[in-house]
Chain A
């Protein structure tokens, strides 16, 4: 191969690595559009966006923890607690004050849950996988113990967040966009964002640069908790109901979105926009396979395979440099 050709190949590989995920999303959308007439309707596209919104919000919080080489497995369970307490104050004919609490509480609970995770991880130095595996179980146990019966028929004044639209766009999608924009700004333009990347890129180097690593670690779990709180509000409001089993498996979907989006589980690498695309790819796959009448177990196998394949491909392209 001539030098020029090698250079050209290198450019293609770099481009694939940088933008491959966008091509992948386009490919999935185009493939389903060809295969299924039901898929390619505007209503369905909006439905996918709506379906992705909660996982997307959780994934953005998850991204912060993964960027520091941590992980938050507890998001699904924490979402159930936050949703349950939110719903308690949002039942039919609740007074205004109670509704205000219903909006505020999930966010407060999310932050408190994140603080708990973060303080054990950063303060006591316990491995994040273990800590959040523990709280995954404990949070779920708590909400089931607290109230096993679902709360239905939430007040209309509460349901608008999850169920109304602004123009064609459902409100949850707008919430997702807002969360993503804020997260993107935080990661790219603030000192905090730089420190998050540095702590994940090399914790020892971050320490030796005089960065308060513990504080950053605590903060990312709080951010994750905050996202869970917002996600819980959107989720509960959209459903108009809260259940103790809500959010099961959300943690793995959120992590999958981050990882398919090219973030490294070893920290230091990943972006908000690609995490969103990761969430969209997974959401589109679920939706498209349903449209093609693929049975649920088969869907799961296909998507599982695609997650592994995506991460493998990312690794291959990275090594080619």
Chain B
């Protein structure tokens, strides 16, 4: 058993972890949940030896220890699998697993490739993953990279394996694989600490759940003692009426967008659908089903090569993103940091970027008006920060609010949201959902692309399922349920 007593860690003025007690038992899956900035990752990094200047005490099997370095933590059997993947793409699986800890050959100073390969193979077998350890990381999918990370964590024979947001880029079947591996580990008496935003996963895999908020522990209780509503309230610190508000009603009378036979070879084929004014149209599917590609085509980033698009009855050709914008389309891209934001620039400049045209005259930006509009959006979305602060200083949830908010200074007629709540905390998620509902109620036509079943089911008026680049099934809101969506994504429409 590992116990942490009264752990504290601060960064300059910020008390990231504020007196936390935690006990980890062998063979348990201990979920750690909380909003961004709650201190989960910091606490785990203390345990894994990243911050030797922590306060408080840690003991292993009753013996007090001082975790002074990552190396030391590894020796004590504590392994952390990083949130951001930390593998070297151009090295092989085996080389990555033993990076910095290569098995020695008989000749001193040399490393044994044979031993490394054998041991890597054994580790992969142990977690039931069929991979050739000679393969380069760059040839693997994100899911397999995640599993290699875990194998790497296991190479030190850990007592406790810490997984920080392991599923943020995995698809449903890949998550199932991961869970199978986790159960295998716990059966071997390894403890697993599981940090995640996804509550459905937490409820599926965890034995006990600890909630953290503002650096403090709120409670640790067995899974059965929690329910979703209470868990969210504990995380956020206030009551939530609903995570998926659905108050708008779509009459389905006015067509906002009509797509027929849209194709781009290699990405999606023959996509046809209709979108109405005031409708939230969910598009569900597995990763790689072509949903993001479809959104990029609709917004002109990578135009479709054939097919027709009508916007409010008018046939249009969308060849560029600026053309799409002028037609009243807007896209909230999946890749928030890579596509959604200019990270080094201010919150204000990011918010006004797409709509600058509306408050400039003769090419000059009307700064006073710009500022008013920026403050209005920030207030509406509860982004509490200075507009002049760099957007990269915001938490993930607030960054996402900027990515969505920047289109709402001059609301588009059609809004395409690609994974709008991926990786953001519950509070921000609820706010994004409330905004979607609000905008639809005002008559905006919204395409909601999401891999999260509860989100698609909770928010959409209608759900389309995409698979291997094609729209395969369609369900109305009453028809749609986890079973038929899951089956449709896998290839069977019921």
Interface residues of A in 205-229 (CB under 8 A from B): 205-212
B12 adjacent to chain A (CB < 8 Å): yes
Residue of A nearest to B335 (CB): A204
Interface residues on chain B, number (Cβ under 8 Å):
34
> In the complex, which residues 343-363 of chain B have their Cβ closer than 8 Å to any Cβ of chain A?
343-345, 349, 352-354, 356-357, 360, 363
Residues of A within 8 A of B321 (CB): 207-211
Is A259's beta carbon under 8 Å from chain B? no
- For the complex, what is the distance from the CA of A202 to the CA of B365, rounded to whole Å? 20
Q: Does A6 contact B (CB under 8 A)?
A: yes
Q: Does A192 contact B (CB under 8 A)?
A: yes
B341 at the interface (CB under 8 A from A): yes
Q: How far is the CA of A210 from the CA of B412 in the complex (A)?
A: 12
Q: Are A194 and B354 in contact (CB under 8 A)?
A: no
* Contact, CB under 8 Å: A269 / B344: yes
Beta-carbon contact of A202 and B331 below 8 Å: no
Residues of B contacting A210 with CB < 8 Å? 321-322, 324-326, 330, 354
* Nearest-neighbor residue (CB-CB) of B340 within chain A: A205
Evaluate contact between B343 and A208: CB separation under 8 angstroms: no
A7 beta carbon closer than 8 Å to chain B: yes
The answer to whether the Cβ of B375 comes within 8 Å of any Cβ in the partner chain is: no
Q: Is B301 an interface residue (CB 8 A)?
A: yes
Find chain B residues with CB under 8 A from A190 CB: 360, 363-365
Partner of B12, one of A6, A194, A211: A6
With an 8 A cutoff between CB atoms, is A198 at the interface? yes
List chain A residues, Cβ under 8 A from B360: 190-191
B107 at the interface (CB under 8 A from A): no
**Is B6 close to A, CB under 8 A?**
no
B338 within 8 A of A: yes
- Bound Cα distance A226, B52 (Å): 57
Residue of A nearest to B321 (CB): A210
Is A43 on the interface with B (CB-CB < 8 A)? no
Contact residues in B for A3 (Cβ distance below 8 Å) = 12-13
Which residues on the A side are within 8 Å of B367 (C-beta)? Answer: 189
Question: Is B282 an interface residue when CB atoms closer than 8 A count as contact?
Answer: no
* Contact B343 A202, beta carbon cutoff 8 Å: yes
The residues in B between 307 and 343 inclusive whose CB is less than 8 angstroms from any CB of A are: 320-322, 324-326, 330-331, 333, 335, 338-343
CB pair B344–A212 under 8 Å, yes or no, is: no
- Min CB–CB distance B341 → chain A (angstroms): 6
Contact B339–A204 (Cβ < 8 Å): yes
* CB-nearest residue of chain A to B323: A210
A229 to chain B, nearest CB (A): 22
**Cβ contacts under 8 Å, A269 to chain B:** 344
Interface presence of B213 (CB below 8 A): no
The answer to whether A194 and B325 touch across the interface, beta carbons within 8 angstroms, is no
Complex Cα distance, B366 from A191, in Å, reads 10
Establish whether residues A207 and B365, one from each chain, have CB atoms under 8 Å apart when the complex forms: no
The verdict on B406 contacting chain A, using a C-beta distance below 8 Å, is yes
Contacting residue for A211 out of B330, B333, B339, B353, CB 8 A: B353
Query: Which has the most chain A C-beta neighbours within 10 Å: B339, B342, B357, B367?
Result: B342
**Minimum C-beta distance from B234 to chain A (A):** 30
A207 CA to B322 CA, complexed, in Å = 8
How far is it, in angstroms, between the C-alpha of A189 and the C-alpha of B354 when the chains are bound?
16
* CA A202 to CA B333, docked complex, whole Å: 14
Set of chain B residues within 8 Å of A194, measured between Cβ atoms: 349, 352-353, 356, 365
Alpha-carbon gap, A191 to B364, bound state (A): 6
Instruction: Name B357's closest neighbour in chain A (CB-CB).
Output: A191
Min distance, Cβ B311 to any Cβ of chain A, angstroms: 15
Q: In the assembled complex, which residues on chain B have CB atoms less than 8 Å from the CB atom of A192?
A: 363
On chain A, the residues within 8 Å of B301 by CB distance are 207-208
Cβ of A39 under 8 Å from chain B? no
| A201 & B12 in contact (Cβ 8 Å cutoff) | no
Number of CB contacts from chain A to chain B under 8 A: 85
Q: Is A268 an interface residue (CB 8 A)?
A: yes
Within 8 Å of chain B (Cβ to Cβ): is A103?
no
Residues of A within 8 A of B356 (CB): 191, 194-195
Asked if A64 CB lies within 8 Å of chain B CBs, one says no
CB proximity of A219 to chain B, nearest CB, Å? 12
* Residue in chain B with minimal CB distance to A3: B13
Q: Are A204 and B338 in contact (CB under 8 A)?
A: yes
Q: Is A197 an interface residue (CB 8 A)?
A: yes
The minimal Cβ–Cβ distance linking A69 to chain B, given in whole angstroms, is 12
Q: How far is the CB of B373 from chain A (nearest CB, A)?
A: 14
CB neighbours of A211 from chain B (8 A): 321-322, 353-354
**In the bound complex, how far is the Cα of B321 from the Cα of A74, in angstroms?**
31
Q: How far is the CA of A192 from the CA of B367 in the complex (A)?
A: 14
Docked CA distance A189–B339 (Å): 25
Closest to B330 in A: A210
Question: Once the chains bind, are A189 and B342 in contact (CB under 8 Å)?
Answer: no
B352: chain A residues within 8 A (beta carbon): 194
Q: Quote the shortest CB–CB distance from A201 to chain B (angstroms).
A: 4
A72–chain B nearest beta-carbon distance, Å: 22
Q: Are the C-beta atoms of B365 and A209 separated by less than 8 Å?
A: no
A240 to B344, CA, bound (A): 45
Q: How distant is B409 from chain A, measured CB to nearest CB, in Å? A: 12
Centre residue among A6, A10, A192, A210 by max chain B CB count within 10 A: A210
Task: Give A211 to B406 CA distance when docked, in angstroms.
Answer: 13
Q: Give chain A residues whose Cβ lies under 8 Å from the Cβ of B326.
A: 210
Q: Is the CB of A206 within 8 A of B342?
A: yes
* Known A-B contacts A6-B13, A191-B363, A194-B353; A208 and B345 likewise in contact (beta carbons under 8 Å): no
Q: How far is the CA of A195 from the CA of B321 in the complex (A)?
A: 14
A208–B363 touching, CB < 8 Å: no
User: Is the beta-carbon distance between B342 and A202 smaller than 8 angstroms?
Assistant: yes
> Which residues of chain A have C-beta atoms less than 8 A from B299's C-beta?
208
CB distance from B470 to the nearest CB of A (A): 25
B340's partner among A7, A197, A208 (CB-CB below 8 A) is A208
Chain A nearest Cβ from B258, distance in angstroms: 22
Query: B344 touching A268 by the CB < 8 A rule?
Result: yes
Report chain B residues within 8 Å CB of A268.
342, 344-345
Sorted nearest first, the 5 A-B pairs with minimum C-beta distance are A210-B325, A201-B342, A209-B354, A202-B342, A210-B321
A sample of 27 cross-chain residue pairs with beta-carbon separation below 8 angstroms, ordered by A number, consists of A3-B12, A6-B12, A10-B12, A189-B364, A190-B360, A190-B363, A190-B364, A190-B365, A191-B365, A192-B363, A194-B349, A194-B353, A194-B356, A194-B365, A197-B349, A198-B342, A201-B342, A201-B344, A202-B343, A205-B338, A208-B301, A208-B340, A210-B321, A210-B325, A211-B354, A268-B344, A269-B344
Known: A191-B364, A211-B353. 13 other contacts (CB 8 A): A3-B13, A190-B363, A191-B360, A194-B356, A195-B356, A198-B342, A201-B345, A202-B341, A202-B342, A208-B301, A208-B331, A209-B325, A211-B321
